[in-house]
Chain A
Amino acid sequence: MSALPSTMNYSDKIPNNVNLSEDRTLQRALEQWQPNFINWWDDVGPEGSTNHDVYLRTAVSVDPQGWAQFGHVKMRDYRWGIFLNPGDAERKVHFGDSLGEKVWQDVPGEHRANLRRIIVTQGDTEPASVEQQRHLGLTAPSMYDLRNLFQINVEEGRHLWAMVYLLHKHFGRDGREEADALLQRTSGDQDNPRILGAFNEKTPDWLAFFMFTYFTDRDGKFQLAALAESAFDPLARTTKFMLTEEAHHMFVGESGVSRVIARTCQVMNELKTDDAQKIRAAGAIDLATIQRYLNFHYSVTIDLFGADQSSNAAIFYSSGLKGRYEEGKREDDHLLKGQTYKVLEVKEGQLVEKDVPMLNALNEVLRDDFIKDSVAGVNRWNKVIEKAGIPTRLSVPHKAFNRQIGALAGIKMSPDGRVVNAVEWAAKQDEWLPSSEDFAFVASLMGRVVEPGKFAGWISPPVMGINRQPIDFEYVRFG
């Protein structure tokens, strides 16, 4: 690291473009929060990683040269910065009841509680995923993957910072208390769990991790994109910048699953078999197991969008707090009053569509955008299978499959969209969702491989290294 003056300046430790050094109160509040953050990181952050120098991307400013600076860093010394995308002094509210007014730089009193809730909910997911992933470093399939895991971990940490900054800066004492609480809840904790269900699920193995980063971080993309439209300008600018980083997380998921599939297909072709047991015996993960993991993560993730009808969603939209995905690119009145949207429900054992007021169905609108985006990626996985000349295809299960939230919660449904009875569900569950045997099998493959350029037998090497480095680059230096 380059020489710095001996008096460490706080703005260097927390690179920021929010003039932190000029706001003494805020700086002091964050200085108090920071040691707790580091304690949290030490306690439930990536296990056994403290001494490694990891080839990480660090943001030191928001311009193209500044936000993707690569170098070997100890994760504990990562510079978790606070960045807002550049503002536009003329920006106007572009949806909801305040359409056409100037965006807000401060929190309007009447929206305070809702905004705080939105920010806290978003903020809560960031440390949660670090907690969920904390043991994965011990079973990384390669040094390259280990580095990607760590990159995600530090950036989730930075996203937590981003939300904590908003809480401290704009919500006074309540904000500080909420920021503290973010470090007190723990994923999966009986007494003090994370706010959203999917963030209390385990991420037991790397296939689950790749599915999580593909599906659940994509939920992050859509939530952040909807918040990036917000009339509350600091939130919009913060989330816009977070989106650029989220891309890498989805990349890890998409390319990770793709590489697992590629390896499976390779083994299938070498052995000329589609027998799951033979494929497993050869140390690869059979496509049916991959499909079950997919079913699980997809269904758990689409629950994250919330109930299909929600008056909160309507309020958030009308009051300008949270827009739709790519709100600015849509051509309608951006008020949505009197419009309707189709949602699903079960009537007399049948799935039926019904029209509900669009404003109340905005969670469903966002869920459908997410689904479209997810399906496109699953098709890219299918291309890998197709190229290998294997007839199987992966698909996302029906939207009503395995749901715990909204009108479809608890309905027994097959992945292809048939309502089934309890007996059939019980009989087929292990065909549709990963069984304890599947988990045990996948877990049995998880040995640590960290020699540069070496990969575990159940996954193919990536097409190219990070930041155009070679694949056998020393992404993590141990010791």
Chain B
Amino acid sequence: MDMAVEAGVINQHLIDPEICIRCNTCEAICPVNAITHDDNNYVVRADVCNGCMACISPCPTGSIDNWRKVLVTKAYSIEEQLSWEVLPAPLPEEQLVATPSLAAPATITPPVPAAAPAEAVFRSSDWGATVPPWSAARAFTNLYGPKNAVTATVVGNYNCTEAGFESETHHIVLDFGSMPFPVLEGQSIGVIPPGSDALGKPHVARQYSIASSRNGERPGYNNLALTVKRVTQDHQGNAVRGIASNYLCDAKVGDTVRVIGPFGHSFLMPNHPRSNIVMVCTGTGSAPMRAMTEWRRRLRASGKFEGGKLMLFFGARSQQELPYFGPLQSLPKDFIDIHLAYSRTPGAPKRYVQDLLHERAADLAELLRDGSTHIYVCGLKSMEEGVVLALRDVAEGAGLPWETLGATLKREGRLHLETY
């Protein structure tokens, strides 16, 4: 949810004057000073708020979590908001269509053909939850920042894809010694590469998902695992040498690494025994899935967990480039239901994770009907929209209107998106 302008419509951030107790918390916390007040009301400046959500959970009343779609030219002004006693009702869709005279200058430029005018723009990110599942364990975040980064020692580093292929992904284990570094599956850490950039500024941290479970890659030790893809090309395919990923992939056992974090308080796994987990990932997006699967496996091995289903949809360019292909094969079928898609297998049609979702629509639909199902999507940014659209199709095909189901999943912290 952000204030980005979409076809002249913004999602304006407003405060409900009927519930707000004028405690000033939001004003004190907003990093960009978007919030102001008078003796009557607390209000948000539409042109300043960037939808960062920093104010949402600290607000003691929930009154700050209000959003209204309005035409950018008709955003509620500060003066208007200050005078309110109640929030205005949401505007009907018809009123959200920009009138031509407002939207375009009166010249004779031919109008751009409107793309699918009837359908509002679909934004997959709108459906991602910002709250954790109710049964998630309590996550610690931001224990270490750039000023007090912790030093971890590399205690393992190997290529977990088949050697000799273009893309190479490493499984790296970091040990924190006696420094407390409590993590949960689904969280990530930041790694600060040594040295500085072209401008002489120290490198900024890069984020990596944790690929091991809460009690460590090796249970009882204070360590965790990462799944790092060596970046050798940029997104356009030009040759580059990714700073942090190459640094990590080249690290030797015994080297030390500066780490910050942990990060993430909503992409967390449910703990209640009936919870089903649907995991959709590509490439290194498998890291959090490996973490969750491993924790479930350990719970099951210790007899502490019976019930909830696990379903994994995993995409890679080819089998050889799919991280952890071997170990995945050895998981019992009655423990996890695995589906793999390859987009570059020579001689075979391209298949993507969303295709798998469609293929397994019947089983997925059954899970979607179950209030204990949680869905996690992680990997390349480009997959996100396709996956959420596929989920929508599967739901609607099963007679579950997405507007309702999607909103429920989001509200209850049951659909989580993390793409990069």
Given A4-B180, A64-B29, A468-B65, the answer on whether A250 and B23 have CB atoms closer than 8 Å is: yes
Which of A68-76, A113-121, A161-169, A300-308 is found at the contact surface with chain B? A68-76
Residues in A whose Cβ lies below 8 Å from that of B24: 243, 247
B65 touches A2 (CB 8 A): no
Q: How far is the CA of A63 from the CA of B131 in the complex (A)?
A: 17
Give chain A interface residues in 429-479, CB to chain B under 8 Å.
463-465, 467-469, 473
Q: Mark A222-251, 1 if CB is under 8 A from B, else 0.
A: 000000000000000000100110111011
Q: Mark A4-21, 1 if CB is under 8 A from B, else 0.
A: 110101011000000000
Q: How far is the CA of A58 from the CA of B139 in the complex (A)?
A: 11
Which DSSP category, helix, strand, loop or mixed, fits chain A's interface? mixed
- Which residue of B has the minimal Cβ distance to A19? B148
A251 touches B142 (CB 8 A): no
Residues in A whose Cβ lies below 8 Å from that of B18: 380, 383
Give chain A interface residues in 181-212, CB to chain B under 8 Å.
none
Q: Does A364 contact B (CB under 8 A)?
A: no
Give chain B interface residues in 302-340, CB to chain A under 8 Å.
none
Q: Mark B170-197, 1 if CB is under 8 A from A, else 0.
A: 0000001011101110000000000000
Q: How far is the CA of A63 from the CA of B145 in the complex (A)?
A: 11
Give chain A interface residues in 317-368, CB to chain B under 8 Å.
none
Q: How far is the CA of A58 from the CA of B138 in the complex (A)?
A: 10
Which DSSP category, helix, strand, loop or mixed, fits chain B's interface? loop
Residue in B28, B136, B214 whose Cβ sees the most chain A Cβ within 10 Å: B28
B138 touches A69 (CB 8 A): yes
A65 touches B137 (CB 8 A): no
Which of B4-12, B54-62, B105-113 is found at the contact surface with chain A? B54-62
Q: Does A272 contact B (CB under 8 A)?
A: no
Residues in A whose Cβ lies below 8 Å from that of B136: 71
B62 touches A468 (CB 8 A): yes
Q: Does B39 contact A (CB under 8 A)?
A: yes
Q: Mark B39-76, 1 if CB is under 8 A from A, else 0.
A: 11000000000000011011011100100000000000
Residues in B whose Cβ lies below 8 Å from that of A70: 57, 138
Given A12-B180, A376-B22, the answer on whether A64 and B54 have CB atoms closer than 8 Å is: yes
A383 touches B141 (CB 8 A): no
Given A61-B143, A247-B23, the answer on whether A71 and B29 have CB atoms closer than 8 Å is: no
B138 touches A71 (CB 8 A): yes
Given A60-B143, A72-B138, A463-B19, the answer on whether A3 and B62 have CB atoms closer than 8 Å is: no
Residues in B whose Cβ lies below 8 Å from that of A406: none
B57 touches A467 (CB 8 A): yes
Residues in B whose Cβ lies below 8 Å from that of A254: 21
Q: How far is the CA of A334 from the CA of B138 in the complex (A)?
A: 45
Q: Does B140 contact A (CB under 8 A)?
A: yes
B-side interface size class: 35 or more
In-complex Cβ contact of B55 among A58, A64, A473 (8 A): A64
Q: Mark A50-83, 1 if CB is under 8 A from B, else 0.
A: 0000000010110111111111110000000000
Q: How far is the CA of A372 from the CA of B265 in the complex (A)?
A: 38
Chain A nearest Cβ from B383, distance in angstroms: 26
Given A2-B214, A247-B24, A468-B411, the answer on whether A255 and B61 have CB atoms closer than 8 Å is: yes
B411 touches A65 (CB 8 A): no
Chain A nearest Cβ from B363, distance in angstroms: 28
| Number of A-B residue pairs having CB atoms within 8 Å of each other in the complex | 115
In-complex Cβ contact of A71 among B28, B62, B137 (8 A): B137
A11 touches B180 (CB 8 A): yes
Q: How far is the CA of A76 from the CA of B214 in the complex (A)?
A: 23
- Which residue of A has the minimal Cβ distance to B216? A3
Residues in B whose Cβ lies below 8 Å from that of A221: 23
B215 touches A250 (CB 8 A): no
In-complex Cβ contact of A468 among B131, B137, B214 (8 A): B131
B141 touches A2 (CB 8 A): no
Q: Does A89 contact B (CB under 8 A)?
A: no
Q: Does A1 contact B (CB under 8 A)?
A: yes
Q: How far is the CA of A63 from the CA of B30 in the complex (A)?
A: 10
Q: How far is the CA of A376 from the CA of B215 in the complex (A)?
A: 51
Residues in B whose Cβ lies below 8 Å from that of A66: 141-142
Chain A nearest Cβ from B307, distance in angstroms: 19
Q: How far is the CA of A73 from the CA of B137 in the complex (A)?
A: 10
Given A69-B140, A69-B141, A251-B21, the answer on whether A3 and B182 have CB atoms closer than 8 Å is: yes
In-complex Cβ contact of A251 among B23, B141, B216 (8 A): B23
Residues in A whose Cβ lies below 8 Å from that of B143: 60-61
Chain A nearest Cβ from B12, distance in angstroms: 19
Q: How far is the CA of A4 from the CA of B143 in the complex (A)?
A: 13
Residue in A64, A68, A70, A465 whose Cβ sees the most chain B Cβ within 10 Å: A64
- Which residue of A has the minimal Cβ distance to B28? A244
Given A1-B138, A3-B214, A473-B134, the answer on whether A64 and B183 have CB atoms closer than 8 Å is: no
Given A1-B137, A2-B183, A468-B411, the answer on whether A64 and B57 have CB atoms closer than 8 Å is: yes
Q: Does B245 contact A (CB under 8 A)?
A: no
Q: How far is the CA of A58 from the CA of B183 in the complex (A)?
A: 16
Residue in B29, B179, B216 whose Cβ sees the most chain A Cβ within 10 Å: B29
Given A61-B143, A66-B141, A468-B131, the answer on whether A247 and B265 have CB atoms closer than 8 Å is: no
Chain A nearest Cβ from B270, distance in angstroms: 13
Q: How far is the CA of A108 from the CA of B140 in the complex (A)?
A: 37
Residues in A whose Cβ lies below 8 Å from that of B57: 64, 68, 70, 467
B21 touches A377 (CB 8 A): yes
Q: How far is the CA of A12 from the CA of B183 in the complex (A)?
A: 13
Residues in A whose Cβ lies below 8 Å from that of B55: 64
Q: Does B222 contact A (CB under 8 A)?
A: yes
A73 touches B138 (CB 8 A): yes
Q: How far is the CA of A64 from the CA of B26 in the complex (A)?
A: 10
Q: How far is the CA of A35 from the CA of B60 in the complex (A)?
A: 31
Residues in B whose Cβ lies below 8 Å from that of A465: 62
Chain B nearest Cβ from A211, distance in angstroms: 15
Q: Does B370 contact A (CB under 8 A)?
A: no
Residues in A whose Cβ lies below 8 Å from that of B345: none
Q: How far is the CA of A19 from the CA of B114 in the complex (A)?
A: 58
Residues in B whose Cβ lies below 8 Å from that of A3: 182, 214-216
- Which residue of A has the minimal Cβ distance to B148? A19
Q: How far is the CA of A11 from the CA of B25 in the complex (A)?
A: 26
A244 touches B25 (CB 8 A): yes
Q: Does B85 contact A (CB under 8 A)?
A: yes
Q: How far is the CA of A377 from the CA of B185 in the complex (A)?
A: 43
Residues in A whose Cβ lies below 8 Å from that of B58: 64, 67-68, 244
Residue in A2, A69, A377 whose Cβ sees the most chain B Cβ within 10 Å: A2
Residues in A whose Cβ lies below 8 Å from that of B140: 2, 60, 69
Q: Mark A389-405, 1 if CB is under 8 A from B, else 0.
A: 00000000000000000
Residues in A whose Cβ lies below 8 Å from that of B137: 1-2, 71
A469 touches B134 (CB 8 A): yes
Q: How far is the CA of A240 from the CA of B215 in the complex (A)?
A: 36
In-complex Cβ contact of B182 among A2, A244, A372 (8 A): A2
Q: How far is the CA of A316 from the CA of B396 in the complex (A)?
A: 67
Given A64-B57, A467-B57, A467-B131, the answer on whether A2 and B138 have CB atoms closer than 8 Å is: yes
Q: How far is the CA of A255 from the CA of B63 in the complex (A)?
A: 12
Residues in A whose Cβ lies below 8 Å from that of B19: 255, 463-464
Minimum-distance CB pairs A-B, first 9: A71-B138, A247-B23, A64-B54, A248-B60, A251-B60, A3-B215, A2-B182, A68-B57, A247-B25
Apart from A60-B140, A61-B142, A255-B19, what 12 extra A-B contacts exist at CB < 8 Å? Answer: A2-B182, A4-B180, A64-B31, A65-B54, A68-B57, A68-B58, A69-B139, A243-B28, A380-B18, A463-B19, A464-B19, A464-B62
Binding site for B on A (CB under 8 A): 1-5, 7, 9, 11-12, 58, 60-61, 63-73, 221, 240, 243-244, 246-248, 250-251, 254-255, 372-373, 376-377, 380, 383, 463-465, 467-469, 473
24 contacts between A and B (CB under 8 A): A2-B139, A5-B178, A12-B180, A12-B182, A60-B140, A60-B142, A63-B142, A65-B265, A70-B57, A70-B138, A71-B139, A243-B24, A243-B28, A244-B28, A246-B23, A247-B60, A248-B60, A250-B60, A255-B19, A255-B21, A372-B39, A377-B21, A468-B62, A473-B134
